[in-house]
């Protein structure tokens, strides 16, 4: 599903960024561009990052 409509970032892309080595929300944001425009997706994006990091 799309987490960030402004940048077209899906939850799968966020997970992939973490599997590829990102280890914080900030790194995921820099890598995928998630939440870099309106910022409305930040809450959900952070949640996906947190969930993914806890099961890597
Ligand atoms: Fe992610 Fe707007 S929906 S920055």
Is there an atom of ligand 1 within 6 Å of 43 CB?
A: no
Model confidence at 53, pLDDT cuts 50, 70, 90, reads very high
Is residue 49 scored above 70 in pLDDT?
yes
From 1, 2, 7, the mutation candidate for ligand 1 (largest count of ligand atoms within 8 A of CB) is 7
> Given pLDDT bands bounded at 50, 70 and 90, which one contains residue 56?
low
Please write the tens of the pLDDT for every residue from 14-47.
Answer: 999 999 999 999 999 999 999 999 999 999 999 9
- Find, among 28, 33, 25, 24, the residue nearest to 6 by Cα: 33
Sign of CA dihedral 39, 41, 43, 47: negative
How many angstroms is it from 7 CA to the middle of ligand 1? Answer: 6
Please give the Cα distance from 45 to 10 (Å, whole number).
Answer: 9
What is d(CA 17, CA 48) in angstroms, rounded to the nearest whole number? Answer: 11
């Amino acid at each position: 599903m799309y987490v960030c409509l402004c940048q077209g970032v899906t939850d799968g892309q966020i997970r992939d960024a973490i599997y590829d080595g990102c280890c914080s929300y900030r790194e995921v944001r820099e890598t995928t561009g998630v939440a870099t425009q309106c910022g409305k997706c930040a809450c959900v994006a952070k949640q996906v990052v947190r969930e993914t990091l806890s099961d890597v």
